[in-house]
Structure 1
Amino acid sequence: MHQDLKTAARNVNYWAGVTTLMPLFGGFIADAYLGRYSTVFASCIVYLM
């Protein structure tokens, strides 16, 4: 991607942070609004895109 080391490290850290927090966000949405199966289905659709 032709990134310098500083930019690449920042992008990896952002990616790691987002992927760590997404299950918490998904769990909150499932418990508060959509329900377990609807959230899993919606997450699968987003993942497949």
Structure 2
Amino acid sequence: MGDDEGLLVLVPPGRPWFPTRDAVARPGEVHVQLAGVRPGSVAVGPLATVTA
């Protein structure tokens, strides 16, 4: 999610780390501060939603 000004990469749990593949993604808590956006929500998968 994002653009040239900033990017947030979200991947499903269990996805191998790229390019080394020496670790896998795991669930974790994330705090993101948003500024200059319109209020709303976006589903980022079956179990997660980002709300501004």
Higher relative contact order (CA closer than 8 Å, sequence separation 6+)? 2
Greater per-residue helix proportion: 1
Greater per-residue strand proportion: 2
Provide TM-score, normalisation by structure 1: 0.25
